[in-house]
Amino acid sequence: MTGYAQDIRPKFRANDIACMARKNVKLDEPQWMCDPAGGRGFDDHANARRVFAALSAGFMPPDGAWPPDWVDAYRDWMNQGFEP
C-alpha cells in the first residue's frame, strides 16, 4: 500500500514545499493532502487531485517536471485510496 507520508511526501524537496506554501498548497501535511473533500473543480480529494494535475502537466515542481515513474507513483497512491 502506498502512503503519502512514506512514499510521496519525500519526493517533494524543501524548495517545492516552500514555493507551493505561498499558494496555500500544503505538500508537507498528509492530512491536508489526503482530505476527501471536493472543490476547485474536483468532486473529491481536491487537494491531492489539484497537485496531481500540476505534476502530470509538468507545471510542478517549478524547476522541472517529475520523472514519469514518480508521477505514476502519485497516481498509484490516489488509486489506492489516498492513504496518509
Cis peptide bond upstream of 10, omega within 30: no
Q: Which residues pair with 37 in a beta bridge?
A: none
| Confidence (pTM) | 0.94
35-69 residue pLDDT tens: 999 998 999 999 999 999 999 999 999 899 999 99
Mind listing the pLDDT tens digit for each residue in 22-39?
999 999 999 999 999 999
> Is 32 in a helix, a strand, or coil?
helix
